[in-house]
Structure 1
Amino acid sequence: MTTETDVLVLGGAGVDTIVHVPELPLPYADSYMIQPGIVTRAGQSGDFVALGVSALGLRTHHIDVLGADPEGDLVRALYRDRGIPFTEVHSAAGTKRAVNLVGPDGRRLSLYDDTRSQETDRLPEDTVRALAAASRHAHVVITHPCAHALPLLRESGVTVSTDLHDWDGANPYHEPFALAADLVFLSTTALADPEHTMRDIAARGRARIVVGTAGAEGAYLLVEGHLSHVPTVTPPAPVVDSNGAGDAFAAGFLFGWLGGADPLRCARYGAIAGAHACTVPSTRADAVRRDELLARAAEPDVAGPAATEPVAPEPDVAEQGAVVRG
């Protein structure tokens, strides 16, 4: 069957307001004078994945709920300007939005507006089925209403990936995503025993590959019961912001995976993309391009050993460096 799309992204479209702060955590004060100012731009987890795989040359389509509001206009403009097809489903609650406090070292604290969703929100079943039938792969963001689309994707036969972000390994909200995906990404930040959680996902769900990103410690790759450590890649420029690095890692990994590369090579692509994302100011939504990623992958210090022998992962508390959450 001929497909029109390489990666169908479901969910995670929204707008962030970026506020640079002198330090995190931010001490209480009546007021702060901040530089370089406050900027609102389109770009949340699904947007970063869509932009990332598109920049790597993969045919991309995104579907999500948007509101008839200024935030929705920013998202629509982003996809129009980048030439990425976007299927919009109306949300009466409005477009998802968040405020990101960004510290001088690039770490961030995100405040999500939880009023921008409704329990009744759904992606139309016929639309999801049609898009899935025309796609090679679906990446599902853990935002409502994407959980309801998971059975439809399974019926279509398309492979599925998801990112659990900073799951604690216990919150039941994440489980449908963790157990329905063939490829699972998650941050080790909130996990007491990352290896146990990764192995549990693989044992109870469909995942053939589980990737745990661990900030400055690199990433951990579980494939067929074998756990490997994938080191970080030195960013090509100073680290200015960690926002979207986990999504960039996922995009780089998917680029390799859909191209038939072995999982270790895919993880190195992810590390390169994640490192690049850390050099992009939080006020922009840009991704590494295919030629740049492949050039970096060919450099001797990057193209060397793809991974070390298994090492027990430890929770990352700083959550900064080349590979962090999205």
Structure 2
Amino acid sequence: MAVFIAGPASWNRLVVLDRLPEPIPHMQFAEDSWETVGGTSAGKALSLTSLGREVLLYAQTADDEDGRRVRSALADAGVPTLWEMSDRTERHLNLMTRAGERVSLYLSSPSEADGAQDARIRQAMADADALVLDLAAEPLRLLPMAAETGVPIWVDVHDYDGEAEFHRPFLAAADAVFCNADRLSDPVAFLRSCITGGATLAVCTLGADGAVAVDAEGVEHRVPAVPVEVRDTNGAGDAFLAGVLDARLAGRGVRESLEAGARSASTVLGTIHLHPALDPVLG
């Protein structure tokens, strides 16, 4: 197995609006809405699987209708999984605009894992070439175990603002850090701080402007986005990380890997799902 991924797999309702709601009582009409698989870890696993990379996704779901939908969809899409059964399946309501702005409302979150599968998880991590630990309570619990394996750890801190406490253990453990620029006033300065802190690669996606990265030697790299007609931006960041990780495991350089990430991200922008592999599964 090449990549072990731990983190969220959820069932989401997406609602497209002409603008994000203002914090006052009012009424808006949705332009579109649908339900689909969500979760940043599910997105990464789907993209890596489509790239031909061996993957194991470890995630939590419940024995409920939404959990069965998530598990069935990922199985039909060919994603190998190790499920931790929870009292609740993670569910989100995502309010979106066509420009990619988003407010995510967490309707339910998984219960705390009991550790019964820890021996199996530890072995799976030790056998991997890379570990992806996403922002959630269960991956946070697994961080010390992951660090003990010595396998490189990749983290995605999404719209980190440079201050939130929850993200810091992930950043401290990371060999590779990914983020977006939504809440960073100076993305390059943040990337350099990650390298100073011990990471060997730090990458910030810039939406339509592509991505910028800083490598272990402090060299800055920039790549443009691949032009594509956008239907939905969910999963683009996950696909970008997957493309970079796949290329790095194949021995590619930083610039070439970033270009692979941009190509991977472009493949998910034309679907309303996390990845086109879900189109024949969910319609």
Would you call these one fold, judging by a TM-score over 0.5? yes
1:80 to 56, 65, 75: 75
Is 2:99 the counterpart of 1:101?
no
The residue that corresponds to 1:309 in the other structure is none
Matches within 5 A, 1:1-326: 5-25=1-21, 31-36=27-32, 38-92=33-87, 94-113=88-107, 115-118=108-111, 120-121=112-113, 123=115, 124-205=117-198, 207-236=199-228, 238-281=229-272, 284-287=273-276
Match of 2:64, as an amino acid?
D
Distance 1:285 1:216, change over 3 A: closer
Whole-Å separation in 2 of the counterparts to 1:287 and 1:262: 27
**1:9 Cα deviation from its structure 2 partner:** 0.7
Per-residue CA deviations over 1:240-299 (Å, capped at 9, x if unaligned) read 221111101001101101100001110011111122322222xx23258xxxxxxxxxxx
- Provide the TM-score with structure 2 as the length reference: 0.90
Distance 1:83 1:65, change over 3 A: same
Distance 1:138 1:241, change over 3 A: same
Q: Is the 8 A contact 2:223 2:255 kept in 1?
A: no
Q: Is the 8 A contact 1:138 1:161 kept in 2?
A: yes
Distance 1:224 1:136, change over 3 A: closer
DSSP 3-state at the match of 2:137 = coil
Whole-Å separation in 1 of the counterparts to 2:135 and 2:180: 13
Whole-Å separation in 1 of the counterparts to 2:106 and 2:12: 9
**1:193 Cα deviation from its structure 2 partner:** 2.5
**1:7 Cα deviation from its structure 2 partner:** 1.1
The residue that corresponds to 2:280 in the other structure is none
The residue that corresponds to 1:320 in the other structure is none
In the alignment of these two chains, the number of paired residues is 276
Per-residue CA deviations over 1:78-133 (Å, capped at 9, x if unaligned) read 222022221111212x11111111223343322223x4244x43554212212112
**1:134 Cα deviation from its structure 2 partner:** 2.5
Match of 1:88, as an amino acid?
W
Whole-Å separation in 2 of the counterparts to 1:135 and 1:55: 18
**1:239 Cα deviation from its structure 2 partner:** 1.3
**1:69 Cα deviation from its structure 2 partner:** 1.6
Which of structure 1's runs of 4+ aligned residues deviate more than 6 A? none
- Provide the TM-score with structure 1 as the length reference: 0.79
DSSP 3-state at the match of 2:252 = coil
Q: Is the 8 A contact 1:58 1:255 kept in 2?
A: yes
Per-residue CA deviations over 1:148-173 (Å, capped at 9, x if unaligned) read 21121122222210100001111111
RMSD: 2.0
Q: Percent identity?
A: 29
Whole-Å separation in 2 of the counterparts to 1:214 and 1:25: 24
Q: Is the 8 A contact 2:243 2:264 kept in 1?
A: yes
User: 150-159 or 239-248, which moves further after superposition?
Assistant: 150-159
Whole-Å separation in 1 of the counterparts to 2:100 and 2:159: 17
Q: Which residues of structure 1 form unaligned runs of 5+?
A: 289-326
